[in-house]
A and B are shown apart, each in its own frame.
Chain A
């Protein structure tokens, strides 16, 4: 039988998987579907119950879904920022103030890959190397995505604020 501590661990794991799925879809029902599909796949394959594995399976389910819907999920990322530049511009990200509604709208303007990277970097606190491994994209592209996503978020929030001010 599943012990209490195991049960608690699985609860935490599923919640983390759901939040990650939410970062991809920005939609509660779709995130729920994704984590359910991923969890069934893990149980069916008797795969390990850990967050890295769950993230990989959720990601694969999401990509399969996009493939079925014939949506191209990722675009080429030409601009490669260095990690130093990324860290140097970090303060800008701290200084932006927003309320929940503004953040929600701003996150919705990001592409799934951008929300995913922001989630993995800031919420799961993975390093850029770890994100690169998890998502199978280069470390430079990860840095670039974080850098660009922050700019997009900042710009979107500022636009929203100016519209309200007008």
Chain B
């Protein structure tokens, strides 16, 4: 077995730790999607430069709102992508339960109460359990469900913050995952399922 002095060994030890290629590509694709949005906005801005000057005078009072809208557009894919990445990981469940009431008891660190959502996409799904996670830095619950065919779904619940209120709702694909986002009972919900299975 290789032995070496502790300083060099520490260096080598950490150099050996690395993100695998698949994970790196996922994280890079997040940057790509943000850059692409920035680039699109930039091209539009150039084409409309002269018109924008005139328009700017008129809409000066609404600049703060405009900036906010651009920022929202740039980042519109981040929450769905985060949900998709977490869904793909399929990390082991911390709590085994088949209903929300049991999960609420098992997850006391949540600063909100898990709700049984009314969204019809969840009809007929069976709860397998849950774990703590985060969405955009906010504490969230990740609940794993399955349908009759054994297809796995991941449901996220987290309090509806001001930032999450601005998130798009609806169903849209992100990589090979279909993501649905909606608000209900003061909570933000995200549901992920693999499209190819």
Chain A residues within 8 Å of B, Cβ to Cβ: 1-2, 7, 10-11, 14-15, 18-19, 22-23, 28-29, 31-32, 35-37, 39-41, 43-44, 46, 61, 64-65, 68-70, 93-101, 103-104, 107, 118-119, 122-123, 150, 153-154, 157
How long is the Cα–Cα vector from A36 to B109 in the complex, in angstroms? 22
Chain B residues within 8 Å of A, Cβ to Cβ: 1-7, 9-11, 13-15, 17-19, 23-24, 27-28, 30-32, 34-36, 39, 71, 74-75, 78, 81-82, 85, 89, 91, 109, 132, 134, 136-137, 139
Choose among A31, A43, A153 the residue that contacts B75 (Cβ–Cβ < 8 A).
A43
> Main SS of chain A's interface residues?
helix
> Main SS of chain B's interface residues?
helix
How long is the Cα–Cα vector from A166 to B177 in the complex, in angstroms? 54
Choose among A31, A65, A68, A123 the residue that contacts B10 (Cβ–Cβ < 8 A).
A123
Further pairs besides A93-B5, A123-B10: 13, Cβ < 8 Å? A7-B28, A15-B18, A36-B27, A37-B137, A40-B82, A61-B137, A93-B6, A94-B5, A94-B7, A95-B5, A98-B4, A99-B2, A153-B6
Chain A residues with CB below 8 A from B78, complex form: 40, 43-44
Q: Is the CB of B9 within 8 A of A103?
A: yes
Chain B residues with CB below 8 A from A1, complex form: 32, 35-36, 39
How long is the Cα–Cα vector from A34 to B85 in the complex, in angstroms? 13
Choose among B3, B27, B39, B85 the residue that contacts A98 (Cβ–Cβ < 8 A).
B3
Chain B residues with CB below 8 A from A31, complex form: 17
Chain B residues with CB below 8 A from A122, complex form: 7, 10-11
Q: Is the CB of B5 within 8 A of A2?
A: no
How long is the Cα–Cα vector from A56 to B71 in the complex, in angstroms? 23
Q: Is the CB of A104 within 8 A of B7?
A: no
